[in-house]
Amino acid sequence: MTRKRVAVLISGRGSNMAALVEAARAPGFPGEIVAVMSDRADAAGLETARAERIAAVAVPRKDFSDKAAHEAAMIAAIEASGADLVCLAGYMRLLTAGFVDHFAGRMINIHPSLLPLFPGLDTHRRAIEAGVRIHGATVHFVTFEMDGGPIIAQAAVPVEPDDTPDSLSARVLAAEHRLYPQALAMVLRGEVAMDGSRAVFSTRS
């Protein structure tokens, strides 16, 4: 089995990145995490990655004159890693159409809600305010529509009556750490692919 190469983009804590790294260490996982990139030099996840002996580079936005130059540097860093696939894991920067097109069908994201509910920020507070009894996380292909790309996999958690955004966030995050490696494996094995605005599944898992 050829193990595909995966780059992970982060902006902060990197707990999903760490979950991907741990899962990819298991024998039989169809890919390896070869590099971690961050748009922030102070992202805690960079140190976590380095401690796991994974190449981790900061490409700070402030080092570039404009968004296009920053994205070009990001793309160069990703290409230099030889990555076949890009995982966004708490990467907090809006992407241009050029960046999205460059990695079309080869870039996935995890979002902390059951999309299409609650795209954007502050999902746990919004879920509590909306009164939903089920919340969760979604892994999807990245398209130009923020949090709007074809859905690969979802995990649901209950919303308890006494939940706060923090308690709900912790429950969702634990689900994210199980979901993201499963969804990544599905993509790497070719069990799901992006076809325009749809995810096409070759085997149901």
Smaller CB distance to ligand GRF: residue 78 or 183?
183
Q: List the Cα angle 147/32/150 in 5-degree steps.
A: 20
Q: How far is the CB of 65 from ligand GRF (least distance, A)?
A: 27
DSSP structure string for the chain: -PPEEEEEEESS--HHHHHHHHHHTSTT-SEEEEEEEES-TT-HHHHHHHHTT-EEEE--GGGSSSHHHHHHHHHHHHHHTT-SEEEESS--SPPPHHHHHHTTTSEEEEESS-TTSS-SS-HHHHHHHHT-SEEEEEEEE--SSTT-SPEEEEEEEEPPTT--HHHHHHHHHHHHHHHHHHHHHHHHTTSEEEETTEEEESS--
Number of residues that bind ligand GRF (CB under 6 A): 14
Interacting residue with ligand GRF among 163, 176, 186, 194 (CB under 6 A): 176
Interacting residue with ligand GRF among 8, 14, 70, 184 (CB under 6 A): 14
Smaller CB distance to ligand GRF: residue 7 or 89?
89
Catalytic residue status for 124: no
Interacting residue with ligand GRF among 40, 77, 85, 90 (CB under 6 A): 90
Q: Does 181 bind ligand GRF (CB under 6 A)?
A: no
User: Which window, 5-13, 99-107, 125-133, 197-205, contacts ligand GRF (CB under 6 A)?
Assistant: 5-13
Q: Does 3 bind ligand GRF (CB under 6 A)?
A: no
Q: How far is the CB of 156 from ligand GRF (least distance, A)?
A: 14
Interacting residue with ligand GRF among 4, 6, 7, 16 (CB under 6 A): 16
- Chain residues binding ligand GRF by CB under 6 A are 10, 12-17, 89-90, 110-112, 173, 176
